[in-house]
Amino acid sequence: MARRPERGATPRRRQTRAEARAQRKALRASRRSEAGAGASLLAGPLLYLFRHRQALTAALQRARGAPLHSVLTSAVVGIALALPAAFALTLDNAERVAGDWQDGAAQISLFLDRDAGPQTLREQAEAAAERAGVAGVEPVTPDAALEEFRAGTDFDAALELLDETPLPPVLVVTADRGLDPGAVAELAESLADDPAVVRMRLDQEWVERLHAIMTLAERALWSIGVLLALAVILVIGNTIRLTIESRRHEIEIVKLIGGGNGFVRRPFLYEGLGYGLTGGLLAWMLTELGRWSLAGPAHRLAATYGTEFTLSGLGPTNGLLLLLGGAVLGVLGAWTAVARHLSAIEPR
């Protein structure tokens, strides 16, 4: 098929020689087939590779024959895969943010009496540092707190109006990482019992709540993922079914002249694989596009919290997993169609 030599204009003499050669060869072949040898010249793994290359070529030819159809299917698959991927990414980034907060969240703020001087603050800090379950204590003087407040906001003008520091001295106690939320709460209570402490704040409840929400979101992600995977299988299955319908005549003829199920089936499976892979690739590109378009706003949001934060993408591992997932769903979808519709086509 590849080369098309100018054989049409072969001189007569060469044609007869070719004819004679063909006859000799045919004779040998017919003897060989009587001995039970197949007509195939390839064997074992070579034949296997040959068969798959053949099917791949056929699948590509078909895709080229119906480009719009193929592109649309890949696009639908890509979007269907991009949705759970984007959801997972969002969740992952949220978890990272929450994780950052959580590291500092096992922090107990002890507000001392406004009149307590730096001396008291230091003493209290040393006492708290002795306690079991305390990893570190940071005394924050009202002036230092004010500085920090100024750096983070634009309230300078408002603060100028106050003649004395509005903030109390604070001890920021960091609990041991190993403590569970219950133990942290207990520690906080006992620290607050000290008469020098006016008020205690433990930012823990919202962390727990956040965790519950994350768990819920993860569940939701799974069900959405499963549903969309099913959708991908159905979409690809349906596309392959249409291809089978449009090729019914060809399939009949192939079966008529001895094409086995494998031979007929393989190009369709490759077609499904192709939709899955291109869909997966498209989904990957879509998530990157989303990340790129959100990078600016995310950066600005992080800046208001005084932190550095970049949205993380899928990365090579998860990206390849997405491709693999698409591939598996593609082959599965093709298989559902092939299993139901191919065997129904019998040559007349």
Partner 1 sequence: MIQFDRVSKRYPRAGQDGLRGVSLEIPQGELVFVTGHSGAGKSTLLRLIPRLERPSGGRVVVAGVDVGQLPRRRIPLLRQRVGVTFQDHRLLADRSVFANVALPLEITGVPRREAARRVRAALDKVGLLHKESSRPEALSGGEQQRVGIARAVVNRPPVLLADEPTGNLDPGLSEEIMQLFSSFVSIGTTVLIASHDLELIERLGHRTLTLRQGELVGDRPPREVA
Residues within the interface to partner 1 (CB under 8 A) = 1-4, 7-8, 10, 15, 18-19, 21-23, 25-27, 29-31, 33-34, 38-42, 47, 50-51, 54, 65, 249-250, 252-261, 263, 347-348
Q: How far is the CB of 340 from partner 1 (least distance, A)?
A: 17
59 vs 311, which CB is nearer to partner 1? 59
The side-by-side arrangement of strands in the sheet containing 170-175 is: 134-140, 170-175, 107-112, 197-202
- HSE-CB at 216 with a 13 A cutoff on CA atoms is 6
Min separation Cβ 268 and partner 1, Å = 16
Nearer to partner 1, 55 or 121 (CB): 55
Between 87 and 270, name the residue whose CB sits nearer to partner 1.
Answer: 270
Q: C-beta of 66: minimal distance to partner 1 in Å? A: 12
Closest CB to partner 1 among 26 and 159?
Answer: 26
Q: How far apart are CA 99 and CA 89, in angstroms?
A: 15
Residues 132, 26: Cα–Cα separation, whole Å: 94
Task: Return the ∠ at Cα 321 (arms to 239 and 314), rounded to 5°.
Answer: 110
Closest distance of CB 342 from partner 1, Å: 13
Please identify, using beta-carbon distances, which residue of 38 and 316 lies nearer to partner 1: 38
Contacting residues for 53 by C-beta, under 8 A, at least 6 apart: none
Q: For residue 298, give the nearest of 290, 74, 133, 147 by alpha carbon.
A: 290
How far is CA 23 from its chain centroid?
60
Whose Cβ is closer to partner 1: residue 190's or residue 261's?
A: 261
Residues in a beta bridge with 231: none
Q: Which helix (H) or strand (E) holds 39?
A: none
Q: How far is the CB of 273 from partner 1 (least distance, A)?
A: 20
Nearer to partner 1, 18 or 301 (CB): 18
Q: Smallest distance from the beta carbon of 245 to partner 1, in angstroms?
A: 15
Question: Residues 45-61, buried b or exposed e (16+ Cβ, 10 A)?
Answer: eeeeeeeeeebbebbee
Rg (CA), the chain: 36
Contact 106, 174 (CB under 8 A): yes
Least CB distance to partner 1 at residue 311 (A)? 49
